[in-house]
Amino acid sequence: MVLAKIRTVIEKSMLHIRPEQFSQMIERSRQKFVADYLPTLRAEFPQLWVMRTEAQISEMLHAHCACAHEYGLDTAEGVYLLLSFRLRLAWSFPTLPEHAWAREILDRQVLSEAQRVAVLEEYLWCVSADES
């Protein structure tokens, strides 16, 4: 799911890829993400399988990839982390006004994706520890 890296390599190379080919690469990447992370999701959030079918959950994961991309999260780890936050806090995370701090972290384009994810995760752990 490293779409940004793929795009950069393509732009720097002499390789010409048609938009539909790039869309197919994105689709395959998302399918792989769903296949790879369904077992992790099942282990971490077993209650989902009570409320939804596996097909619905796969569809949700697939759609979530596009949502995560809007926040600059393209690696499988970043996409899954945002999904797990959304499942734990609120499905509308980080769009709600009370999650402005999360949007600010995700919008810090001077930081790499890995750094933004680490800061977001650290912040959430600190908040959780303070609430305990």
pTM for the whole structure = 0.76
Prior bond of 39 cis (ω within 30°): no
Q: List the one residue out of 95, 96, 105 whose CA is nearest residue 67.
A: 95
**pLDDT at res. 47:** 93
* Residue 129 or 31, more confident: 31
What are the E-state strand segments in the chain? Answer: none
Range 76-92 average pLDDT: 90
Instruction: Evaluate whether 84 touches 40 at the Cβ level (below 8 Å).
Output: no
Residue pair 89/96 in contact by the 8 Å Cβ criterion: no
Closest CA to 82 of 39, 42, 35, 116: 116
Residues 97-119, mean pLDDT to the nearest whole number: 91
Question: Does the pLDDT value for residue 132 go beyond 70?
Answer: no
Name the token pair of 107: 């919008």
Show the tokens assigned to 6. 């793929």
Is pLDDT of 99 > 80? yes
What is residue 128's predicted lDDT score, i.e. its pLDDT? 60
pLDDT in tens, 5-52: 666 666 666 667 778 887 888 889 889 999 999 999 999 999 998 999
Q: Which residues contact 48 (CB under 8 A, 6 or more apart)?
A: 41, 42, 57, 87
